[in-house]
Homo-oligomer: A and B are copies of this chain.
């Protein structure tokens, strides 16, 4: 008899989105200079842990996932990394799916170590850079982690590499999209989506987004750039899978960080609820 497959992280995420009816993800990008006055920041690593603990308490049960951004923790050194690990544990205990936004990328044997680090930290998923080719992605898939490869990022100058036109008329991002689709085809969950996902920014044009979805029909997308970075829920529409039967099968996880962490009015929980609600229309069955 064949070995039973390891549990698939994309299935866990799909179920979590289904159960809350929204594909909202809250980015944990803790910046001590923006913390509320009652969190002392003299010891930054402790402060970011406290801040993240509060955010987790506010968003658990409201959104299915959080995305800790590794650099915001790493900059405080070993104590910062400890804060990251504890934050991941706390989020997991609160029932949240955890995407470690680390954008790692290296050749096979080294990628093995990055994958082990993410698993040891307790993450369900990681962001990764595809520039080194599929062998840099495979170790994350095998870990197993839901692996979101950078395809089209939301920063203003991402065109410098990602929009270079290739010999067949497609952009570099579109060629990378094909690679992600092909590599992911042998790493699927039980509901049709692959364990290899794609980071596709929300602030690029609708046509751009539609071309990427066409090339990656069964790829889960992580969509940053909504909220403070300028994207709106409507910008995400071209990225939604067609014929999805449930919110999770729509194949998107949409991230907001600053607009939820540092809301202009109300609490973090209020901001998370507004964000979560704003996305329901995108994924409700028609």
A-side residues, CB < 8 A to B, are 29, 69, 71-72, 74-79, 81-82, 85, 103-108, 110-111, 113-114, 116-117, 120-121, 129-136, 150, 153-162, 164-167, 169, 172, 175-176, 179
Q: How far is the CB of A127 from chain B (nearest CB, A)?
A: 9
State how many angstroms separate the Cβ of A100 from the closest Cβ of chain B: 11
Q: In the bound complex, do residue B155 and residue A164 qualify as a contact, i.e. CB atoms below 8 Å apart?
A: no
Given contacts A129-B129, A160-B179, contact A113 B81 (CB under 8 A): no
| 8 residue pairs bridging A and B, Cβ less than 8 Å apart | A71-B111, A78-B79, A105-B129, A132-B158, A133-B158, A133-B160, A134-B157, A164-B172
Which chain B residue shows the least CB distance to A120?
B77
Cα(A55)–Cα(B166), bound, Å: 45
A132 to B130, CA, bound (A): 11
Contact A164 B162 (CB under 8 A): no
- Are A135 and B161 interface neighbours, CB within 8 A? no
With a cutoff of 8 Å between Cβ atoms, the chain B residues found around residue A175 in the complex are 161, 164
User: Which residues of the partner chain B approach A111 to less than 8 Å between Cβ atoms?
Assistant: 71
Q: Contacts of A129 on B, CB cut-off 8 Å?
A: 103, 105, 129, 131
Give the oligomeric copy count: 2
Q: Which residue of B lies closest to A131 (CB)?
A: B131
Q: A71-B117, A77-B85, A164-B172 are in contact. List 10 more A-B contacts (CB 8 A).
A: A71-B111, A72-B110, A72-B113, A75-B116, A77-B117, A107-B155, A130-B161, A132-B150, A135-B155, A164-B166
Give Cα distance in the complex from A69 to B202, angstroms. 33
- The complex places the Cα of A75 from the Cα of B76 at a distance, in Å, of 17
Closest to A156 in B: B135
A27→B129 CA distance, assembly (Å): 22
In the complex, the answer to whether B105 meets A105 with C-beta atoms within 8 Å is yes
**Considering the chains assembled together, what is the distance between the CA atoms of A155 and B109 in angstroms?**
10
In the docked arrangement, what's the CA distance between A167 and B169, Å?
7
Q: What is the minimal beta-carbon distance from A178 to any residue of chain B, in angstroms?
A: 10
What separation, in Å, do the CA atoms of A29 and B85 have in the docked complex? Answer: 23
